[in-house]
A and B are shown apart, each in its own frame.
Chain A
Amino acid sequence: MIWLTFINYGAWYVFIFISIFWILTLLKNREHVAGRTGRRKYPSLSVIIPAHNEEDNIEETVKSISKLNYPKRLLEIIVVNDGSTDNTKNIAMRLKKKYNFRLFNNKINKGKGHALNRGIRAARGEFIACMDADSIIEKDIMKKMLPYFDDPKVGSVTPSLKVWKKGSFLEKMQHAEYILNIFLRKMLSFIDAVHVTPGVFSVYRKSVLREVGGFDEHNLTEDMDIALRIHKAGHTIENNIEANSYTLCPNSWKTLFKQRIRWYRGALNNYYNYRHMLFNRKYGNLGIFFLPANIIAITSLVVIFAGMAWGYMRSTVDSLWKINLVDWDVQVMLGTFDLESLSLIIATPLILGIIGVLIGGFVLYKSFKMTEGGIKEHKPTYLIYLLVFPLIMMLFWILAIFHEVAGMKKKW
């Protein structure tokens, strides 16, 4: 079984390598982390809000867009009610009178991609922002994102996406994850390898959206698909770490599970669909480096998790089996327990794990420092996030791979 040990060690090396790469990328580009400023002319902007069963949140979303610090004559809001079965349509019709936006209604649910494309076809703006209906934005977000479009090669600019409501323990843990993703997206922008344009106020040139054919209406993760197509068409995607948008995240394990299975299956599908980009110089750093590295990194983390899970399961089963041999006389066997036996766990895998956690902790700390000035509260939660959440996400990855291989039905 020595090959299993080598694979496990290899997986740790990959994790350490990629983490160190991002830390060094940050060090090299630390003076460019802050957002750019100063665009003289405001272009026309259409904000498209696809909504399916968002009666609880759509009002806040529309209100947030209406408060955008942007010339009103150049701002167009389009809401696409995508076959909602709750009160979204009625609420949207009421809000239309107050906030003066264009409303389109799909009689049946056709999916987010379709709703976005319907909005794009109707949009009059030179720039398009896509906005999930369970999200809000800060009012200066457009001013912060526009300067990046001075470069004609930029096809899209992504915001700094954070968790809107952080009440529960699960939401706080996802907040840490989103903060880490903000860091990663910024680092990716330094090497022109941003591979996802989040659905919460990513801004696109309408010409680029038309050039790439709009959103894929059958894709579970249309935000990743469109980003890869934008790169494929020769455009770049930038990021402003100071342009804040906020979204609701799952507040139960069940909804988190459903969301992550969708995300990860979507990612697997996209990696497969865009496999011709892997190691392809034509697609720059995204093709040569990031996409292959990301696949290897995910595989490594799955291997590490599977190794740990296998080890824990084997130890547990072994312990239960042995205790059963002596008719569950635990009291007698406790006499054999000593600290020295416990010290046997101090071995290379544990040491590599400690190194991994320390590096991960440093990256998390820098992420918080860049986005929120530091970790001001809930420190124990973020420590738990560091130690536990990745293991849970790796379990979700394994389940997503299983769902995909088994050909299970895809659900939004």
Chain B
Amino acid sequence: MTKKRLDKEILIYTIIISSLLFFGGVFIGYNINMDRLSDIQKEINNVNSDVDNFQLQFLFFDVLGENATCPLLKDTLANINKKSYEIGSKITLAGQEGKIQDYSEQDNLIEEYSRVSVSYWLLANKMKASCESNATTILFFISKECDNKIPNPCDDQGYVLTYYKEKFGNDLLVFTLSEDVEEASVHVLKDFYNITEYPTMIVEGDKYENFVSKAELGIILCEHGMCV
């Protein structure tokens, strides 16, 4: 009986088929992730349109007056508020999964999201002044520096903020800004509030550096009229 040899044909077909299956799987995963980022981009575009719409609505003040305009502005604000926070969470979650992806694409999304958040924050403050809104605004500064710490204080702060957002809904407006983006408006705010530690929250103009616990944040919000 001749010695059994390893069939080279089998080996070659094995390499081809397993490579097709493997790289096919990687390709599908990559495309799913790209679609995910693309969906987030579309949502940001939608919020951008809503913010432009919001700006436009301010022009109604001169024509229709405060009584007619403020309810409209409040509705629009509530709509933007919900979408905006969800986008922020999605970008964060997608990044946390640590998958191989186009990081530049994710960075672009964060930059665009930060720009939208700044516009939204400015308009929200303007609306509050014009319409006597009770909403509390929080500027929430985060940084990749937080990734070097265990536990990640930016993630933890985000979670506590999400908790209070669920509690207070549209009465609590949270604007997340990443220090890592090349967006001028974010750096203007960072310099204005002298942000050096991360995370930092600016709650109605008052600065709170590093992680603030649920209990402490509850007291702070209560001081601004939002008590649990």
Which A positions have Cβ atoms within 8 angstroms of B? 1-2, 5, 9, 12-13, 16-17, 20-21, 24-25, 28, 151, 153, 190-192, 236, 284-285, 288-289, 321-322, 325-327, 329, 332-333, 335-336, 340-341, 344, 346-352, 354-355, 359
Q: Are B93 and A341 in contact (CB under 8 A)?
A: yes
Closest residue of chain A to B39 (Cβ to Cβ) is: A340
B224 at the binding interface (Cβ < 8 Å): no
B213 at the binding interface (Cβ < 8 Å): yes
Q: Are B151 and A321 in contact (CB under 8 A)?
A: yes
Q: A24-B10, A192-B4, A326-B159 are in contact. Are A348 and B22 (CB under 8 A)?
A: no
Closest residue of chain B to A333 (Cβ to Cβ) is: B163
Q: Are B99 and A348 in contact (CB under 8 A)?
A: yes
Give the residues in chain B near A325, CB-CB below 8 Å.
156, 159-160, 163, 213-214
Nearest-Cβ distance from residue A354 to partner chain B, whole angstroms: 8
Among candidates B11, B28, B98, residue contacting A1 with C-beta atoms closer than 8 Å: B98
Among candidates B15, B33, B155, B214, residue contacting A326 with C-beta atoms closer than 8 Å: B214
Among candidates A190, A347, A349, A352, residue contacting B4 with C-beta atoms closer than 8 Å: A190
Which B positions have Cβ atoms within 8 angstroms of A? 1, 3-7, 10-11, 13-15, 17-18, 21-22, 24-26, 28-30, 32-33, 36, 89-90, 93-94, 97-100, 151, 155-156, 159-160, 162-163, 166-167, 213-214
Among candidates A2, A332, A349, residue contacting B166 with C-beta atoms closer than 8 Å: A332
CA distance A352 to B30 in the complex (A): 12
Give the residues in chain A near B89, CB-CB below 8 Å.
336, 341
Q: A348-B100, A355-B21 are in contact. Are A20 and B3 (CB under 8 A)?
A: no
Q: Are A13 and B156 in contact (CB under 8 A)?
A: no
Q: Are B11 and A21 in contact (CB under 8 A)?
A: yes
Nearest-Cβ distance from residue A29 to partner chain B, whole angstroms: 9
Q: Are B93 and A344 in contact (CB under 8 A)?
A: yes
Interface class of chain B by DSSP: helix
Q: List 22 A-B contacts (CB under 8 A).
A: A5-B100, A12-B22, A16-B18, A17-B15, A17-B18, A21-B14, A24-B10, A24-B13, A24-B17, A28-B7, A190-B4, A191-B4, A285-B6, A325-B214, A333-B163, A336-B89, A347-B99, A351-B25, A351-B28, A351-B32, A352-B26, A352-B29
Give the residues in chain A near B99, CB-CB below 8 Å.
5, 347-349
Among candidates A5, A190, A288, A348, residue contacting B25 with C-beta atoms closer than 8 Å: A348
Nearest-Cβ distance from residue A49 to partner chain B, whole angstroms: 31
Give the residues in chain B near A284, CB-CB below 8 Å.
3-4
Nearest-Cβ distance from residue B135 to partner chain A, whole angstroms: 19
Q: A20-B14, A344-B93 are in contact. Are A322 and B159 (CB under 8 A)?
A: yes
Q: Are A348 and B29 in contact (CB under 8 A)?
A: yes
CA distance A348 to B34 in the complex (A): 12
Nearest-Cβ distance from residue A215 to partner chain B, whole angstroms: 26
Give the residues in chain B near A191, CB-CB below 8 Å.
4, 6-7
CA distance A135 to B78 in the complex (A): 73
Give the residues in chain B near A350, CB-CB below 8 Å.
29
Q: Which of B21, B29, B99 has the most CB of A within 10 A?
A: B21
CA distance A191 to B98 in the complex (A): 41
Closest residue of chain A to B6 (Cβ to Cβ) is: A285
Q: A13-B18, A16-B21, A348-B100 are in contact. Are A288 and B166 (CB under 8 A)?
A: no
Q: Are B26 and A9 in contact (CB under 8 A)?
A: yes
Q: Are A329 and B151 in contact (CB under 8 A)?
A: no
Among candidates A5, A332, A352, residue contacting B167 with C-beta atoms closer than 8 Å: A332
CA distance A355 to B99 in the complex (A): 18
CA distance A325 to B155 in the complex (A): 11
Q: Are A336 and B100 in contact (CB under 8 A)?
A: no
